[in-house]
Amino acid sequence: MAYVGLFLACVGLVVVSFLLHEMGHKITAQKSGYWSEYRMFPAGLAFTLVLSLAGFLFAAPGAVMIAGNLDNKTNGKISIAGPAVNMVFAAVGLAGSLLVNGSVWVVPFYLLASLNASLGLFNLIPIPPLDGSKVIKWNVWIWIAGIAVCAVEFIALMRMSFYYTI
């Protein structure tokens, strides 16, 4: 029965991580004076579900749409907001997994960390339409810093995995 709760916690973390990434973009766009909204792509959601059943993790269920002409600086700041949310949640997951080590609940915290580090790093790939292409166009040093934070989180995850006990 504990594993059902564990599974539900993990599914919830995946959904929340994706939504908070998108909300990072939305809130930053609105604070910058732009209209924005999240739009779900039903075909992308179906594609995500099919791939996940086959053992692949690739999420494309929707994105934040922003109205207006954005300059590179504003677009870069809005674009880094999503991966920044992921970096923060990866750090929370790392800390949480240390606090509950020895418990079955280490799994959702480790998942939170690895999922968010992966999501942040993937979105920083500098290929359109990913966030990294807009961030690097605005400020290459911010892009490098984002990549570095995600890399450090991955290294911490790898090192910590040797010490976990359930």
- pLDDT tens profile 106-127: 888 888 999 899 889 989 999 9
Q: Annotated catalytic residue: which of 22, 24, 74, 93? A: 22
Q: Which residues contact 131 (CB under 8 A, 6 or more apart)?
A: 79, 80, 82, 83, 123, 124
Tell how many helices (H) and how many strands (E) occur in the chain: 6, 2
- Which residues face 39 on adjacent strands? 63
> How much of the chain, in percent, has pLDDT values that exceed 90?
48
| Per-residue model confidence (pLDDT) at position 165 | 58
Statement: the pTM of the whole predicted model exceeds 0.85: no
| Per-residue model confidence (pLDDT) at position 56 | 59
Residue 22 among the catalytic residues? yes
Residues 110/96/116/91 CA torsion (nearest 10 deg): -130
- For the chain, residues with pLDDT lower than 50 are none
CA distance 2 to 24: 32
